[in-house]
Amino acid sequence: MIRDLGDLKFEAALAIQENLTAEVAAGTAPETLLLVEHPPVYTIGRGGCRDNVLDSGIRVVETNRGGDVTFHGPGQLVGYPIIDLGRRGRDLHRYLRFLEELLIKVAAEFGVTARREPGRTGIWTDGGKLASIGVGVRRWVTMHGFALNVANDVTPFHSINPCGIVACPITSLSAILGRPIPLDDVRRSVAGRFPSLLDERLPFLETAEPAP
């Protein structure tokens, strides 16, 4: 199931995630990919440090995802997959590689070559980091997810050490291509590719253990 939340504050989207994660774990709601665009906000993950926020002129929210600090803002597509890994093999590493593959394929659809970087999570181009990934898991149900830079202003990234990386170059699809890329086009690409690639890379097990 794909659910478009439109333009929504981070905290409101987090509340939706938390409720849906509990429902999926209980078996009362289907797996869902939430797609959203956030007003400007810095978020810090469990492994993060406020020292990586060099300028606090933008709101800062601490959250329970993995990773360090990142920025969300208009023109960036954020995806929160609420997926029951308990029924799909309980392999968090493979899930992260699935998210990277999804974003690499989406970027390629728009003519951008992206790749993984050894030892780092997310996707990268010759011009810098294109997408960040940070997830959380409760009872083997995922929350949080990815942020793909489409047409957003990347200047706010200059005021942080993104993902804890000093002077990390950040880019977007629009910056690479030299023309505006409509967020709706990228949203449709992600929504169209997500279900089939998920089932291909993380198929349901015939017998899955219940969540503890």
Name the CA dihedral angle for 152, 21, 59, 189, rounded to a multiple of 10 degrees.
0
Q: Residues 166-172: contacts with CB within 8 Å, 24+ apart?
A: 168/128, 168/129, 169/127, 169/128, 169/129, 170/128, 170/129, 171/125, 171/127, 171/128, 171/129, 171/130, 172/75, 172/76, 172/130
Q: Which domains does the chain have, with CATH numbers?
A: 2-201 (3.30.930.10)
Measured between alpha carbons, how far is residue 34 from residues 3, 6, 113 in Å? 5, 10, 25
Nearest-CA neighbor of 17 among 42, 34, 39?
Answer: 34
pTM of the model: 0.90
- With contact defined as beta carbons under 8 Å apart, do 5 and 35 qualify? yes
Per-residue pLDDT, 172: 96
Positions at the binding site: 65-72, 132-134, 145-147
Per-residue pLDDT, 207: 62
- Which amino acid makes up residue 64? N
Per-residue pLDDT, 69: 79
Taking the C-alpha atoms of residue 69 and residue 94, their distance in angstroms, rounded to an integer, is 23
Q: pLDDT by residue (tens digit) across 58-71? A: 788 778 776 677 88
Positions at the binding site for substrate: 65-72, 132-134, 145-147
Average pLDDT for runs of 10 along the chain of length 212: 96 96 96 97 74 68 75 96 97 96 98 92 92 93 97 82 61 96 98 97 76 54
- Which residue of the set 16, 78, 163, 198 is catalytic? 163
The answer to whether residue 168 is catalytic is: no
Nearest-CA neighbor of 181 among 135, 211, 149?
Answer: 149
Could you tell me the strand order of the sheet in which 60-62 lies?
60-62, 41-44, 69-72
Measured between alpha carbons, how far is residue 176 from residues 94, 111, 155, 159, 210 in Å? 28, 9, 15, 21, 45
Per-residue pLDDT, 20: 97
Q: pLDDT by residue (tens digit) across 140-187? A: 999 999 999 999 988 887 766 545 555 568 999 999 999 999 999 999
Nearest-CA neighbor of 116 among 127, 129, 108, 106?
Answer: 129
